[in-house]
Amino acid sequence: MNSFFSKIWVLFVVAIAVQPMYGQHLSAQKKVLKLMGSRFEITAVADNDTLAWAAINAGIAEVQRIENIISSWDPKSQTSKINRMAGLRPVAVDRELYDLVFRAKKISRLTGGAFDISFASMDRIWHFDGTMTEMPAPEKVAAARAKINWQNIILDPADHTVFLKEKGMKIGFGAIGKGYAANRAKAIMQNMKGMHGGVVNASGDLITWGKSADPNGWTVKIADPKEKGKVLGWLPVQDMAIVTSGDYERFVEFGGKRYAHIIDPRTGYPTTGIKSVTIVCPDTELADALATSVFVLGKKQGLELVNKMKGIECLIVTDDNDIVTSENLKLNYY
């Protein structure tokens, strides 16, 4: 279920207080709306109300523009065209989409294939909307899984085409698209007239920049997974992205076991063992993709990967409410 009351209310409370600015007469405005099928919160701190709203509207337009390109549901999108032509022929796409696929493949390489946008061949098997009543047949899982392989996403830089080499392959940007959109909306808003700061929060994938309405700067509260409504601690997130992937929004349950909406490309089955992953780094797109990757890699390998990467931190909550963090994560406790 893609609930409008997103995960941030359920587990990771991301609370950014936007109060009227003192002294400087800046305006802080915020809009909550549904974009890309998710709850977005866009905040702008600007010279005045008019400029703040102009920035918010520009941010919204940018997210909608991106959604039109990367949506796998919209049959008119370039992504749908790539999928329809799987096994048939390469499809020439906008440079922007080509570059996104290029970066997605880079993350696949980095994560040893844990992250793979061609996971989407499993769409035919797993439905995380409450309609599944039993485990799918293993042969069906195996047949769809055989189509997952990021190395069969063929890119041609000369005419920026994308070709899915095998029939039945499919790509989807569910694990990177919101992060990319948040990056882009931020970039557009930041460069507008009279802007001082802001936040783009794509249902738990968020990025902040510049001046906050709060004298402490932008901070994000981390909810305690063990106790509903209790805050575990907080993180300063000035000019930072913080992204949480969780299994509490979309999942299926069989025999009391919960399966998250993230697929392990090695098995074709949803991942188990981790409840949520939070990544902190300067880039929402990378954070989004890595949060999903850590889910697949699991606690041990996921931490190893993050600890190897400079400037990237993470916090993992396991199924048994164990909390583990990367070496340099500085969570502040009250």
Helices (H) and strands (E) in the chain, counts: 7, 15
Q: Considering beta carbons, is residue 252 or 262 the nearer one to ligand ADP?
A: 262
Q: Is residue 197 involved in binding ligand ADP (CB under 6 A)?
A: no
Judged by CB under 6 A, which stretch of 44-52, 184-192, 231-239, 287-295 contacts ligand ADP? 287-295
CA 70 to the chain's CA centroid = 14
Smallest distance, Å, CB 51 to ligand ADP?
31
Q: Considering beta carbons, is residue 18 or 69 the nearer one to Mg ion?
A: 69
Q: Is residue 189 involved in binding ligand ADP (CB under 6 A)?
A: no
What are the residues binding Mg ion (CB under 5 A)? 175, 245, 288, 291-292
Q: Across the chain, which distance is largest between two alpha carbons, in Å?
A: 66
Residue nearest to ligand ADP (CB): 174
Q: Considering beta carbons, is residue 204 or 302 the nearer one to ligand ADP?
A: 204
Smallest distance, Å, CB 137 to ligand ADP?
20
Q: Considering beta carbons, is residue 249 or 288 the nearer one to Mg ion?
A: 288
Chosen residue from 26, 63, 189, 262 binding ligand ADP by CB under 6 A = 262
Question: What is the C-alpha separation between 20 and 1, in angstroms, rounded?
Answer: 35
Chosen residue from 54, 66, 162, 291 binding ligand ADP by CB under 6 A = 291
* Helix, coil or strand: residue 181: helix
Smallest distance, Å, CB 195 to Mg ion?
27
Q: Considering beta carbons, is residue 114 or 175 the nearer one to Mg ion?
A: 175
Q: Considering beta carbons, is residue 225 or 265 the nearer one to ligand ADP?
A: 265
For residue 205, give the H/E element and its range.
strand 205-210
Which residues lie closer than 8 Å to 277 by C-beta, 6 or more apart? 244, 245, 246, 291, 292, 294, 295, 302, 314, 315, 316, 317
- Encode burial over 149-180: b for 16+ CB neighbours within 10 A, e otherwise: bbeebebeeeebbbbbeeeebbbbbbbbbbbb
Question: What is the C-alpha separation between 14 and 292, in angstroms, rounded?
Answer: 19
Instruction: Locate 99 and state its tokens.
Output: 């570059």
Smallest distance, Å, CB 72 to Mg ion?
15
Instruction: Locate 278 and state its tokens.
Output: 């939070």
262's contact among Mg ion, ligand ADP, none, with CB below 5 to 8 A by partner kind, is ligand ADP
Binding site for ligand ADP (CB under 6 A): 115-117, 119, 172, 174-175, 204, 245-246, 249, 261-263, 265, 288, 291-292, 296
